[in-house]
Amino acid sequence: MSFDLNKLIRPNIAKLEAYSSARDEFSGDAKVFLDANENSLGSPSLKWYNRYPDPHQKIVKDKIAVIKRIPAENIFLGNGSDECIDIVFRCFCEPGKDNVIICPPTYGMYEVSANINNVGIKKVPLLNDFQLDLVHLENAIDTNTKIIWICSPNNPTGNSINRVDIEMVLNNFNGLVVIDEAYINFAKQKTFVQELSDYPNLIVLQTFSKAWGLAGLRLGTAFASTPIIKVMDRVKPPYNINQATQEIATKALEEIGQVNDMIKIIVDMREALAEVFLTMPTVEKVYPSEANFILVKIKDARKIYEFLLTKGIVLRDRSNVALCENCLRITIGTEQENTLLIDAMQEWYHLNP
Ligand SMILES: *Cc1c(COP(=O)(O)O)cnc(C)c1O
């Protein structure tokens, strides 16, 4: 395989002179900061946020580096993984010329982000078992194909993509392979983060929004080779991770024990909930899940979805999505929320015998 990152970077990005912030030009020890036009008097709140945050997020990255056992220079932080997705497009895909491959049914943002950036989309649907269709994938690649997006465990299907298939793509595609591991903490499958040195074309996305319980903070991570991270760093807005997020994430990263406890509880409830769904009369299939949600194929999915809404319970209706016909995606809730859901579904069966 001949992988050449320089051939993948958009010419304007390769030439780009990145914005140099006040905090870039001086980052040593000083007592008086009069370089960034902040309000030196303070903030109208108990906590002071009058200073710009660290554009390189050094403290957070050093903590993530220890937990993930990789150097901090292989880490990029985004305002949610959604920002990482957008930045990957903007670094590597020339609008109106390049294309990417996505494998639906999958996470919707790859397509939205491609459309926003006017980047072509080639869809290679997953097979019936929700695994990669390697034959059609290979056929879809052309000289302008820059990225293959793989979501594993996949949203909304919940399964992990076979590791050997992903390795096959990584070994044979000269563009970038992005593996979105938003749900990896709930999976038996190993992360690809440890394989960065083997694959110069690999970008792994993870997020604080799911297992870490911090969706409201907006913090996503991209792991990749140092040259890829350097390109992404030049394209990102300088202060994309705000001060509050950096502080709270730094604290949260010290509580990995709590996170692991929550993951265990959620996985146990996922398995228990799957058992209960299987006993329900019109449930046709409960797809095996390695995530914090389950996909359930059920007769009258849309009607049940609407009935549950009247009970104040919202599921994700995927019944119109190809390969997910008549499917509802159900996030694992608290014990009490799961019970409310099951009770409401029993009520539906009672009303619709
Ligand atoms: C939820 C989710 C994300 C998370 O995005 P954030 O912007 O980090 O909240 C990313 N990818 C997939 C597949 C998801 O389901």
Residue of minimum CA distance from atom 11 in ligand 1: 182
Q: Which domain holds residue 308?
A: 257-351
* Distance from Cα 41 to the centre of ligand 1, integer Å: 38
Residue with tokens 């869809």: 123
Model's pTM, two decimal places? Answer: 0.97
In angstroms, rounded to a whole number, what is the distance separating the alpha carbons of residues 124 and 252?
Answer: 38
pLDDT over 80 (residue 33): yes
CA nearest ligand 1 atom 4, residue: 81
Indicate whether 238 and 347 sit together in one domain: no
130 & 192 share domain:
yes
Contact 271, 50 (CB under 8 A): no
- Same domain, yes or no: 311 and 244: no
Return the best residue to mutate from 85, 130, 155 for the ligand 1 pocket (most ligand atoms within 8 A of CB): 155
Region of poorest pLDDT, from 41-55, 170-184, 191-205, 275-289: 41-55
* DSSP string for residues in 282-324: TEEEE---SSSEEEEEETTHHHHHHHHHHTT---EE-TTSTT-
Q: Are residues 205 and 243 in the same domain?
A: yes
pLDDT score recorded for residue 24: 81
227 and 289 together in one domain: no
Q: What is the pLDDT of residue 22?
A: 84
For residue 196, the domain's CATH number is 3.40.640.10
CATH number of the domain bearing residue 321: 3.90.1150.10
Average pLDDT of the segment spanning 269-275? 97
The residue to mutate among 84, 210, 221, 289, having the most atoms of ligand 1 within 8 angstroms of its beta carbon, is: 210
- What's the whole-number average pLDDT of the chain? 96
Domains identified in the chain, total number: 2
Q: What is the pLDDT of residues 273-332, one digit of tens each?
A: 999 999 999 999 999 999 999 999 999 999 999 999 999 999 999 999 999 999 999 999
Residue 1: per-residue pLDDT:
56
For the segment 125-142, the average pLDDT, to the nearest whole number, is: 98
CA 351 – CA 353 distance, rounded (Å):
6
Judge contact between 250 and 60, C-beta under 8 A: yes
Q: Which residues line ligand 1 (CB under 6 A)?
A: 80-82, 107, 151, 155, 180, 182, 207, 209-210, 215, 220
> Residue 298: beta bridge partners?
283
- Residues 132, 263: one domain? no
For residues 261 and 249, membership in a common domain is answered with: no
User: Is 197's pLDDT higher than 90?
Assistant: yes
238 & 305 share domain: no
Same domain membership, residue 273 and residue 230: no
Of 193, 219, 254, the one marking the end of a domain is 254
Do 311 and 206 belong to one domain? no
Q: How confident is the model at residue 4 (pLDDT cuts 50, 70, 90)?
A: very high
Phi and psi dihedrals of 69, rounded to 5?
A: 55, 50
